[in-house]
Amino acid sequence: GPGPLGQLRLAVFVNTALFLVIGATVTLLVARNLTTPIKAIIAGLKRIAVGSIDHPVQVTSNDALRSTGDIINELMAGLRERDHLRDALALADEVQRNLLPTEAPCVAGLDIAGSCIYCEQTGGDYYDFIHDGPSDTGRVGIIVGDVADHGIASALLMTTGRALLRQRTALKGELHTIVSDVNRELAADLDASGRFMTLFYGHIDRPANTISWVNAGHDPALLYTPRKDRFTSLGGRHLPLGAFADSRYRTDTCTMTEGQILLVGTDGIWEAVNAQGEMYGKERFKTVVRRHHQATAREIADSVMASLKAFCRAVAPADDITLVVAKAVAHTRVERTPAPSPDDPKRRFSE
pLDDT digits (tens, 9 = 90+) for 139-172: 999 999 998 766 677 778 888 888 999 999 999 8
> Is the CB of residue 338 less than 8 Å from the CB of residue 103?
yes
What mean pLDDT value characterizes the chain?
81
Q: What is the mean pLDDT of residues 186-215?
A: 91
324 half-sphere exposure, CB direction, 13 A CA radius: 26
Report d(CA 162, CA 123) in Å as an integer. Answer: 13
Q: What is the pLDDT of residue 30?
A: 55
Radius of gyration of the chain (CA): 33
Higher local confidence (pLDDT), 87 or 209: 209
Asked whether the predicted pLDDT for residue 64 surpasses 60, the reply is no
* HSE-up (13 A, CA, CB side) for residue 349: 24
Q: What are phi and psi of 247, to 5 degrees?
A: -60, 145
User: CA separation (Å) from 29 to 20, 34, 40, 178?
Assistant: 14, 9, 17, 80
Secondary structure letter of residue 279 according to DSSP: B
Asked if 143 and 157 count as a contact pair (C-beta separation under 8 A), the reply is: no
- Is the pTM higher than 0.75? The answer reads no
Angle (CA) 224-228-234 rounded to 5° is: 30
Strand-strand pairing, 139-147 and 125-131: antiparallel
Check whether 348 has a pLDDT greater than 50.
no
DSSP letters of 58-108? ----SSHHHHHHHHHHHHHHHHHHHHHHHHHHHHHHHHHHHHS-SB----T
What is residue 345's predicted lDDT score, i.e. its pLDDT? 37
Distance of alpha carbon 322 from alpha carbon 41, whole angstroms: 49
For residue 114, name the pLDDT band (cuts at 50, 70, 90): very high
**Cβ partners under 8 Å of residue 291, min gap 6:** 303
Residue 138 CA to residue 213 CA, distance in Å, equals 16
The pLDDT value recorded for residue 24 is: 64
Instruction: For 275-302, write each residue's pLDDT tens digit.
Output: 999 999 999 999 999 999 999 999 999 9
Look up residue 241 and give its DSSP letter: B
Average pLDDT over residues 128-141: 91
Angle at CA 148, nearest 5°, toward 326 and 215? 40
Kindly state the average pLDDT of the residues 216-220: 95
| Chain centre distance of CA 217 | 21
